[in-house]
Amino acid sequence: MRHRALALTVSLCALLTAQAAAAETLNLMCRVHWSKAGGAHREGRRRLDIDLGAKTVRVSDDVGRGMTVKGQHPIVSSDKDRIRLETGGGKESYVDRLSGQYFFHNDKDGVTIRGPCEKVGLEKPRF
């Protein structure tokens, strides 16, 4: 009887852990406006694949020629209001969980990127 209860408890814990891990992945598509000190600007899309369990984000951009992966890096922090993707070295970026807005700024080159995001499905391979 104890073995069955233990097996049931272990199975239930594994199931809940798998569900929690799946719930910790956010795939966001943001319609963004890039602006640079001096007046240059453009419109495009930025995709953020955020894995809160692994604490990483993969960033991809589309400025009219299809999605291009820009990189993947650790996220800084996450709470109920904000996911801070990058901070330090003159850079700051985050997703506001309440408004759905994405924000990025780089002091060094004067670039600011911002715009609204919506949840999307997993990215499909091109081949």
Predicted structure pTM score: 0.76
Residues 6+ apart with CB under 8 A from 27: 47, 48, 49, 50, 119, 120, 121, 122, 123
Q: What is the pLDDT of residue 10?
A: 38
Q: What is the mean pLDDT of the chain?
A: 83
Q: What is the pLDDT of residue 22?
A: 47
Token pair of 83 as six digits: 């996911």
Q: Which residue has the tokens 């009887």?
A: 1
Is a pLDDT exceeding 50 seen at residue 86? yes
Task: Indicate the domain borders of the chain.
Answer: 25-119
Mean pLDDT (whole number) for 82-91:
92
Q: What is the fold, at CATH topology level, of the domain defined by 25-119?
A: Lipocalin (2.40.128)
What is the rounded distance in angstroms from the CA atom of residue 63 to the CA atom of residue 7? 52
